[in-house]
Amino acid sequence: MTALERLRPDHAPAVLAFERENRAYFAASVPDRGDGYFSGFAARHAELLAEQAAGVCHFHVLTDGDGAVLGRVNLIDVEGGSAELGYRIAERAAGRGLATSAVRDMCALAVADYGLTELRARTTADNAGSRAVLARTGFTETGTLTLMGKPGLRFVRHLVDGRARPAP
């Protein structure tokens, strides 16, 4: 059983363990956080909680029944009813549909808890897994960009009561 929980101070040890355990796995598809992220983790976690308290971002962890972090699902740059969605799932939990389920849950939270009407996302063109998650959860491709020096894609999902609606 998994739960999508709003980031709290007491999540810090489990989040740090998750990031350490999956560092090489994530670096294959997204920029590495760097050594400074890990050495200054406590301060960074406090900064995230402050951003969340200010309403600029909404950070969440996907936990298992034992409280271990299996993933992170975040809404950043919240402004004008819109935010950018970002997510990462642990290597040991990949391929089980957890990303799709967590993104669906986040879309519902975006409307119900945060009053958002639109989510944006982006991924590298070669990240088939991420593209599939976005497609399964109602995101529509809207254009291209360069991410990490590689071709990337932009996506959007317009929200109405947690459901997708066609782009205007």
Compute the CA torsion angle 130, 136, 140, 141 (nearest 10 deg): 30
**pLDDT value at 67 more than 50:** yes
In this prediction, residue 107 carries a pLDDT of 97
The set of residues, in sequence order, having a beta carbon less than 8 Å from that of 60 and lying 6+ positions away, is 4, 5, 6, 7, 72, 73, 74, 102, 106, 109
Where along the chain do its domains lie? Answer: 3-165
Of 89, 90, 19, the residue nearest 48 (C-alpha): 19
Compute the CA torsion angle 105, 108, 109, 110 (nearest 10 deg): 120
Longest CA span, the chain = 45
For residue 11 the two structure tokens come to 């999540």
pTM of the model: 0.91
**Average pLDDT value over all residues in the chain:** 93
Q: If pLDDT is split at 50, 70 and 90, which confidence band does 109 have? A: very high
Q: The CATH number of 3-165 is which of 2.30.130.10, 3.40.630.30, 3.40.50.300, 3.30.70.890?
A: 3.40.630.30
